């Protein structure tokens, strides 16, 4: 039974990722982005971001799965290719941590474009780098 | 002595005249059989070598059709629009006559004055960036829908299958694929899997074929210039064969994901290239841009003779 549930859940995740990955040449933020974030070169954590443009706003999620985090706000300033997104994630104490990511998109026209930048969560801060899945 | 000089001069002059006569009629021409057929017919596309410059070879990678390369054969003489017995214009070849195809589709749908196009800010920025960095999916062998289908180097064939009430648009170059326009009165399905060519239905408005397409994905550019779109694109094309050799083409773009209002392109003209057929073109073979296909290369020099 557990196996069936797990298989079904995995299938849903794959379908979600596939649907997002089909969008490639539309809005530059749309797609699935892979990379990492951390406080230093040795303290790194995986980061998967799925973003979608509906014509008016960008929505999405961070690290899809049982502990996915919905993105509260995501914007693109196309004059500077500046990317901004925010998300609230549950912490171990049961509270919420507010993450803010600010980065710059590079190789905008390429399918494997990247976003590099910094993040903050309260007083903690660091850097992140994600690359768009082709 | 004077007579012998005169004889030599006459001999040289005669030989020159003979040489000119032979080259003009093509009798003395070597190389590929198509060398004399290409050249004047091919409408030049931006970034492509001039017709005839490649010695019978087509543009880019893939199998080349030798004499069937870009531009094809001689243009047919001016004639009125061919029509079916019911009076509707024929959009492609005329049964019983030599076959042909259309060349010279729109390479840039957006007006030169970009203020005339109701871009959303991101779409305008992307369009401008694409003028600098050209990573067009077509060069990676992806099928390209909308008007990009008509901007292949080797022309496009419109094949009417009246008994089946559908029209096929075959494009050469790229992935060697086709689009179906359903002419049987059906509507678009309520749910569509997004695709490169979308779902096309057509009808006649007088002598104009109106094609309505939805269900696009975002995996291609609408034209070679990189006019952006999203999956919300609703694309309406109007084809009018104003005479035997001329196909007028105009499109209306409705895409609230990329534009603030619907907009209509200028009128573009495609020309009939008679005595030619589509040929086998396998984009993936001998592709000059494998790095672009897997995304590891950041730029491509389009000033080169061969552009993948």
Confidence of residue B104 (pLDDT cuts 50, 70, 90): confident
Task: Name the band, by pLDDT with cuts 50, 70 and 90, for residue B280.
Answer: confident
Residue stretches of chain A with pLDDT short of 70: 1-23
Tell which phi-psi region holds residue B82, choosing left (phi > 0), alpha (psi between -120 and 50) or beta: beta
pLDDT at B228: 97
Q: Does the distance separating the beta carbons of A108 and B133 come in below 8 Å?
A: yes
A32: left (phi over 0), alpha (psi -120 to 50) or beta: beta
3-class SS at B124? helix
pLDDT value at position A21? 42
- Confidence label for B287 from pLDDT (cuts 50, 70 and 90): low
Predicted confidence at residue B9, as pLDDT, reads 55
Mean pLDDT of B224-246: 96
Chain-chain contact of B257 with A55 (C-beta, under 8 angstroms): yes
Give dist(CA B43, CA B25) in Å, integer: 24
**Kind and range of the H or E element at A2?**
helix A2-21
Burial grade of B21 (CB within 10 A; 0-12, 13-18, 19 or more): exposed
Best probe of the A interface among B295, B297, B300, B302, by most A CBs < 10 A, is B295
Specify the 3-state DSSP secondary structure of B15.
Answer: helix
User: Which pLDDT score, from 0 to 100, does residue B3 have?
Assistant: 52
Cβ of B114: how many Cβ atoms within 10 Å?
11
Task: Determine, for residues B129 and A109 on separate chains, whether the beta-carbon distance falls below 8 Å.
Answer: yes
Interface predicted TM-score of the whole assembly (ipTM), two decimals: 0.79
Kindly state whether B231 is in contact with chain A, defined as any CB-CB distance less than 8 angstroms.
yes
pLDDT digits (tens, 9 = 90+) for B112-131: 888 899 999 999 999 999 99
Task: Return the minimum-mean-pLDDT range out of A115-119, B58-62, B254-258.
Answer: B58-62
Pairing mode of beta strands B199-205, B178-182: parallel
Instruction: Decide if A25 and B194 are in contact by the 8 Å CB cutoff.
Output: no
> Which residues are within 8 A (CB) of A16 and not within 5 positions of it... i.e. 6 or more apart?
A50, A64
Other residues' Cβ atoms within 10 Å of the Cβ of residue A40 = 8
10 Å CB burial of residue A65 (0-12, 13-18, 19+) is exposed
Q: In the predicted model, is pLDDT for residue B269 greater than 60?
A: yes
pTM comes to 0.74
> For residues B107 and B149, is the Cβ–Cβ distance under 8 A?
no
Chain B closest CA to A122's CA: distance in Å?
31
Query: Tokens standing for B148?
Result: 């990009």
The residues in A 2-61 lying below 8 A from B, measured between CB atoms, are 22-28, 30, 53-55
Cβ B102 vs Cβ B276: under 8 Å: no
> In the structure encoding, which two tokens stand for residue A16, read together?
């979600």
pLDDT tier at B43, thresholds 50, 70, 90: very low
Q: Is the pLDDT of residue B42 over 70?
A: no
- Closest to A111 measured CA to CA, from B130, B256, B244: B130
- CB under 8 Å to A96, separation ≥6 — which residues? A88, A89, A90
Interchain contact B195–A (C-beta under 8 A): no
Q: Within a 13 Å sphere around the CA of B148, how many CA atoms are in the beta-carbon half?
A: 29
Three-state helix/strand/coil letters over B55-77:
CCCCCCCCCCCHHHCCCCCCCCC
Instruction: Please give the average per-residue pLDDT across B35-54, as a whole number.
Output: 30
Summarised one tens digit per residue, pLDDT across range B179-213 is 999 999 999 999 999 999 999 999 999 999 999 99
Both tokens assigned to B117: 């196009």
Contact B260, B121 (CB under 8 A): no
A24, A28, A112 ranked by CB distance to B126: nearest: A28
Q: Report which of B3, B34, B83, B16 is spatially closest to residue B273, judged by C-alpha positions.
A: B34
Q: Is the CB of A22 less than 8 angstroms away from the CB of B217?
A: yes
Angle at A91 between CA A90 and CA A92, to 5 degrees: 130
Count CB pairs under 8 A between chains A and B: 74
Determine the pLDDT at residue B302: 52
Q: What's the mean per-residue pLDDT of chain B?
A: 77
Q: Say which residue the tokens 């049987």 belong to.
A: B184
User: B136 pLDDT exceeds 90?
Assistant: no
Q: Is the pLDDT of residue B230 over 50?
A: yes
- pLDDT in the model for residue B41: 31
Of A22, A54, A79, the CB nearest to B125: A79
Element (H, E) at A119: strand A114-121
pLDDT higher than 80, residue B227: yes
Nearest to B232 among A22, A55, A134 (CB): A55
Mean pLDDT of B268-290: 82
Does residue B13 surpass a pLDDT of 70?
no
Q: Is the pLDDT of residue B44 over 90?
A: no
Q: B30: pLDDT confidence band, cut at 50, 70 and 90? A: very low
Rounded to 10 degrees, what is the CA torsion of B274, B278, B284, B289? 10
Cα B175 to Cα B276: distance, rounded to the nearest angstrom: 20
Nearest-CA distance from A81 to chain B in Å? 9
Residues of A with Cβ-Cβ distance to B133 under 8 angstroms:
107-110
What value, to the nearest 5°, has the Cα angle with vertex A11 and ends A10 and A12?
A: 90
């Amino acid at each position: 039974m557990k196996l069936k549930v797990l298989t079904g859940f995995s299938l849903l995740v794959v379908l979600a990722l596939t649907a997002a990955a089909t969008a490639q040449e539309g809005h530059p933020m749309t797609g699935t982005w892979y990379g990492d974030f951390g406080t230093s070169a040795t303290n790194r954590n995986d980061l998967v971001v799925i973003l979608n443009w509906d014509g008016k706003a960008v929505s999405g999620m961070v690290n899809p799965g049982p502990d996915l985090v919905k993105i509260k706000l995501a914007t693109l300033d196309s004059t500077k290719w500046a990317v901004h997104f925010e998300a609230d994630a549950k912490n171990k104490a049961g509270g919420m941590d507010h993450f803010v990511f600010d980065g710059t998109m590079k190789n905008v026209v390429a399918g494997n474009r990247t976003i590099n930048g910094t993040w903050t969560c309260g007083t903690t801060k660091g850097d992140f780098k994600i690359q768009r899945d082709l | 002595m004077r007579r012998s000089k005169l004889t030599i001069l006459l001999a040289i002059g005669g030989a020159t005249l003979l040489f000119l006569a032979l080259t003009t009629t093509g009798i003395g021409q070597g190389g590929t059989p198509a060398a004399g057929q290409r050249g004047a017919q091919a409408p030049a596309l931006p970034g492509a070598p001039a017709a005839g410059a490649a010695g019978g070879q087509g543009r880019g990678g893939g199998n080349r059709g030798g004499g069937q390369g870009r531009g094809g054969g001689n243009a047919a003489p001016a004639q009125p629009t061919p029509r079916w017995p019911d009076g509707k214009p024929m959009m492609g070849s005329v049964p019983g006559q030599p076959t042909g195809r259309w060349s010279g589709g729109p390479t840039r749908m957006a007006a030169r004055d970009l203020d005339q196009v109701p871009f959303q800010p991101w779409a305008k920025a992307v369009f401008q960036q694409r003028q600098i960095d050209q990573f067009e999916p077509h060069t990676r062998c992806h099928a390209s829908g909308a008007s990009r289908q008509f901007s292949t180097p080797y022309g496009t064939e419109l094949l009417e299958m009246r008994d089946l009430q559908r029209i096929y648009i075959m494009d050469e170059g790229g992935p060697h694929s086709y689009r179906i326009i359903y002419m049987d009165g059906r509507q678009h399905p309520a749910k569509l899997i997004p695709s490169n060519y979308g779902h096309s239905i057509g009808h006649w408005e007088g002598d104009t074929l109106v094609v309505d397409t939805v269900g696009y994905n975002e995996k291609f550019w609408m034209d070679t210039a990189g006019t952006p779109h999203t999956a919300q694109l609703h694309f309406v094309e109007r084809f009018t064969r104003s005479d035997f050799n001329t196909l007028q083409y105009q499109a209306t773009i409705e895409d609230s994901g990329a534009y603030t209002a619907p907009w209509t392109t200028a009128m573009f003209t495609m020309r009939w290239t008679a005595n030619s057929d589509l040929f086998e073109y396998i984009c993936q073979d001998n592709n000059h841009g494998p790095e672009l296909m897997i995304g590891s290369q950041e730029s491509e020099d389009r000033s080169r003779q061969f552009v993948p």
